Amino acid sequence: MPLCTNVTRIGSKYYFRRRIPKDLKRFFGKETYKVSLKTACPIEARERAAKVASQLVDFFRSLRVMTQDNDNDEIDYDFSKYADYDEADIDNDFIDEFLADEPIPEDERLTEEDQEALLKQIDQENRDHDLYMLGLMRLNEKKIEKLTQESEVKNRIIADLSVSQSNPAKSNDVNSVEKRFLEFLSERQSQITPNFYNFHSLVFRFFTEICGTKNMVDYNRSDANNYRNTVLKLPTYPSNWEKHFGTTEISKVIELNKTKRKPTVSKKTFNSKHLAVLGPFFKWSKQLGYVDHNIFDDMTTSLTAQEKNIKRKEKRPPFTIEELNNIFNSTEFTNRHKDYVYFAPLVLLFSGMRFGELAQLKIKDIVDHNGFKHFDLTGDDKSLKNVNAYRLIPVHEELRKIGLFEYIDERLKRTRNPESPMFDISYNEKTHGYDSRRLLRLLKTFKDRGILGEHVVVHSFRHTFRNHLVSSGVDSESIAMAMGHEHEGSRIGGIYSDNLIKKPQSKKVLSLTYEGLNLSHLY
- Name the β-bridge partners of 34: 17
pLDDT score for 198:
74
Say yes or no to pLDDT of 304 above 80: no
pLDDT band, residue 34 (cuts 50/70/90)? confident
Instruction: Quickly list DSSP for 444-484.
Output: HHHHHTTSS-TT--TTHHHHHHHHHHHHTT--HHHHHHHHT
pLDDT digits (tens, 9 = 90+) for 311-369: 665 566 899 999 999 999 999 898 888 888 999 999 999 999 999 999 999 999 999 99
Look up residue 184 and give its amino acid: F
Of 302-316, 411-425, 484-498, the least confident: 484-498
Cβ count within 10 A of residue 372: 18
Give whole-number Cα distances, 402 to 12, 17, 60, 406, 519, in Å.
Answer: 19, 32, 44, 9, 8
Burial (CB count <10 Å: 0-12, 13-18, 19+), residue 304: exposed
pLDDT score for 112:
55
Instruction: Please tell me which residue, 73 or 416, carries the higher pLDDT value.
Output: 416
pLDDT score for 9:
78
pLDDT score for 281:
94
pLDDT band, residue 20 (cuts 50/70/90)? confident
- Name the β-bridge partners of 15: 8, 36
Say yes or no to pLDDT of 392 above 80: yes
Please state the domain extents for the chain.
7-147, 171-302, 321-522
Looking at domain 321-522, its CATH superfamily turns out to be Intergrase catalytic core (1.10.443.10)
Mean pLDDT of the chain: 77
Say yes or no to pLDDT of 504 above 50: yes
pLDDT band, residue 253 (cuts 50/70/90)? very high
Say yes or no to pLDDT of 520 above 90: yes
pLDDT score for 362:
94
Instruction: Please tell me which residue, 299 or 85, carries the higher pLDDT value.
Output: 299
What mean pLDDT comes out for the span 284-296?
A: 93
pLDDT digits (tens, 9 = 90+) for 320-336: 999 999 999 999 898 88
